[in-house]
Chain A
Amino acid sequence: MFARDHATARGIRVTEFHMTWLVRYARSSIGAKHIMAVTGLLLFLFAVVHMIGHLQMFGGRDMYNTYAHFLQSLWEVKWPVRAGLLVLLIVHIIVALGLVAKNRAARPERYAKFKPVVSSAAGRTMAFTGLAVFAFIAFHIIHFTVGWVQPEAFHTLDAEKRWDAYSMFVIGFQNPAIYGVYFAGMVLLALHLGHGAASWLQSLGLRHPKYPVDRLGPLIAFGLFVGYMAPPTAVLVGLIRMNGVG
């Protein structure tokens, strides 16, 4: 008697011990949150560094090409960093796709009426903006790293026989279509980061009510957007030209 399925909690524990602690952690809901937060944060930091690099366009051809040359010549660093970023990106995307699937399964039936009150559209569309940003990054690599989009501007040499990244940049963004693609890409990135930058402290449990820095998420995202779009916009409006800045 008294037989009823009361031992569900036990059942959980049994499967639990088939996995190692690390796999169990990575597969858990909060483990996934941590992975999203850490990979997202590292990718975000890369984006900040990358943005600072591009802001050197305002310093003119020599400054920018020196910077580009410096990066290219450090192949011992370049390839591990590239590989690392790729891994971060892949992990970030795979875990995110897993979460999307899990979250959809957890709410299979929709409400006839549903009024979200505090969540942002950016937050609710993370999966979409994330995939779009991924597509954008792919385009960006094809454009500036592989050189298939504007081959005529790719790997020309400057006066000091360095690859003329400055010219590539200027020629690229003098084309309004290219500018438009990057503008859209940066809007998506900003939306994605608007929620992401507001989330990672909470996800890692580091948010403190006294220091509500997570509220700065949208501001950080906007700053990044401005920082990224400033050089291309300067090119488009003619502030940065083939023959110099200003």
Chain B
Amino acid sequence: MSDLNLTLHVWRQRNAKSPGKMVTYKVTGVSTHASFLEMLDILNEQLTAKGEEPIAFDHDCREGICGMCSLMINGRPHGGQRATTTCQLHMRHFKNGDEIWIEPWRAEAFPVIKDLCVDRTPFDRVIAAGGFITANCGSAPDANDILIPKESADDSMDAAACIACGACVAACPNGSAMLFVAAKLAHLHRLPQGQPERMHRTQAMVTAMDAAGFGNCSNHYECEAACPKDIKRDVMALMNRDYAKAALASRDRETKSDGSG
């Protein structure tokens, strides 16, 4: 296959405080076997050769699992291939001469750090608020003492596959993080181990989510379409139901966990 020459429009922003703008670059000689990030590597090599500062973008594992890569590509998170992260998107899906728009995730809760890198630490704060099972190391019963129907384990795994890339937030017209939060809740709540803290966890994580400045869900399901791990809207229905139960029909926990169980 022949190499591609492309026109890229890339968001450049020096740091969180300075304003940014779209800048147009030409990149030449991109193999169709290259991944999208390798295409950016090639561009960065070409920029470096010209003495221009390379474009900053987040990436790490480059095999679709760490969730570090992002990018809004031609208006679609991760480029819009089904169940594919940007690092797994390959250039064979583009044509010679294509124009490509590359932007960072946009959300108030995800401020730009530089160029295409954004700060996703609000996700960590939501997990810290309740996205765990309180089980101090050493206190576990034998693993086979907890019988888990295969269907429950599979359903839980479907939700647990979330990589916290933030595509759901980026795709949502409201910058809502509900798919992310609901996926973690569904992961834990589809298992027996998650039941003891279920009500408190739901409330605590939703409260943290709201405090982080994410928008609300309007049931558009752009998140579901953008999710590189195919997480389904069902998880949000589960969260919505649990939240009603937690807020309206369960006792509030008076003392918060002190972390040592």
Confirm or deny: A3 has a beta carbon within 8 angstroms of a beta carbon on chain B. no
Q: Given that A113-B101, A126-B218, A202-B233 are contacting pairs, would A107 and B106 also be in contact in the complex, using a CB cutoff of 8 Å?
A: yes
Give, as a whole number of angstroms, the nearest-CB distance from A9 to chain B: 5
**Closest Cβ–Cβ distance, residue A40 to chain B (whole Å):** 11
- Kindly state whether residue B207 has any CB partner on chain A within 8 Å: yes
CA of A102 to CA of B175 in the docked complex: distance in angstroms? Answer: 10
Kindly state whether residue B241 has any CB partner on chain A within 8 Å: yes
Q: Are A202 and B220 in contact (CB under 8 A)?
A: no
Q: Which of B85-93, B140-148, B244-252 contacts A (4 or more CB under 8 A)?
A: B244-252
0/1 string, B60-77, CB within 8 A of A gives 1: 000000000000101110
Q: Given that A106-B175, A118-B222 are contacting pairs, would A205 and B75 also be in contact in the complex, using a CB cutoff of 8 Å?
A: no
Q: Please report which residues of chain B, range 214-244, place their CB below 8 angstroms from some CB of chain A when the two chains form the complex.
A: 214-222, 224-226, 233-234, 236-244
Q: Is the CB of B174 within 8 A of A119?
A: no
CB-defined contacts of B75 to chain A, threshold 8 Å: 111, 113-115
Contact between A116 and B129 (Cβ–Cβ < 8 Å)? no
- Nearest-neighbor residue (CB-CB) of A106 within chain B: B215
Given contacts A106-B107, A116-B173, A118-B225, contact A204 B216 (CB under 8 A): no
Task: Report if A118-B224 is in contact (Cβ < 8 Å); known contacts: A9-B129, A106-B214.
Answer: yes
Chain B's nearest CB lies how many Å from the CB of A221?
A: 14
| CA gap between A108 and B216 in the complex, in Å | 14
- CA–CA, A12 to B233, complex, Å? 27
- Count chain A CB atoms within 10 A of each CB in B174, B178, B218, B225 and give the residue with the most: B218
A124 contacts B by Cβ under 8 Å: yes
B175 close to A21 (CB less than 8 A) = no
Cβ of B176: which chain A residues have Cβ within 8 Å of it?
A: 29, 103, 106
Chain B residues engaging chain A, CB cutoff 8 angstroms: 9, 11, 22, 72, 74-76, 80, 101, 103, 106-109, 125, 128-129, 172-176, 178, 204, 206-211, 213-222, 224-226, 233-234, 236-244, 247-248, 252, 256
Can you list 22 contacts pairing A with B, beta carbon distance less than 8 Å? A8-B128, A9-B128, A10-B256, A12-B129, A33-B240, A103-B173, A103-B175, A105-B213, A106-B107, A107-B174, A111-B103, A115-B76, A115-B80, A116-B173, A118-B221, A119-B220, A199-B219, A202-B236, A203-B219, A203-B240, A205-B241, A205-B243
Chain A residues with a Cβ under 8 A of chain B: 8-13, 15-16, 21, 24-25, 28-34, 99, 102-103, 105-120, 123-124, 126, 195, 198-199, 201-207, 209
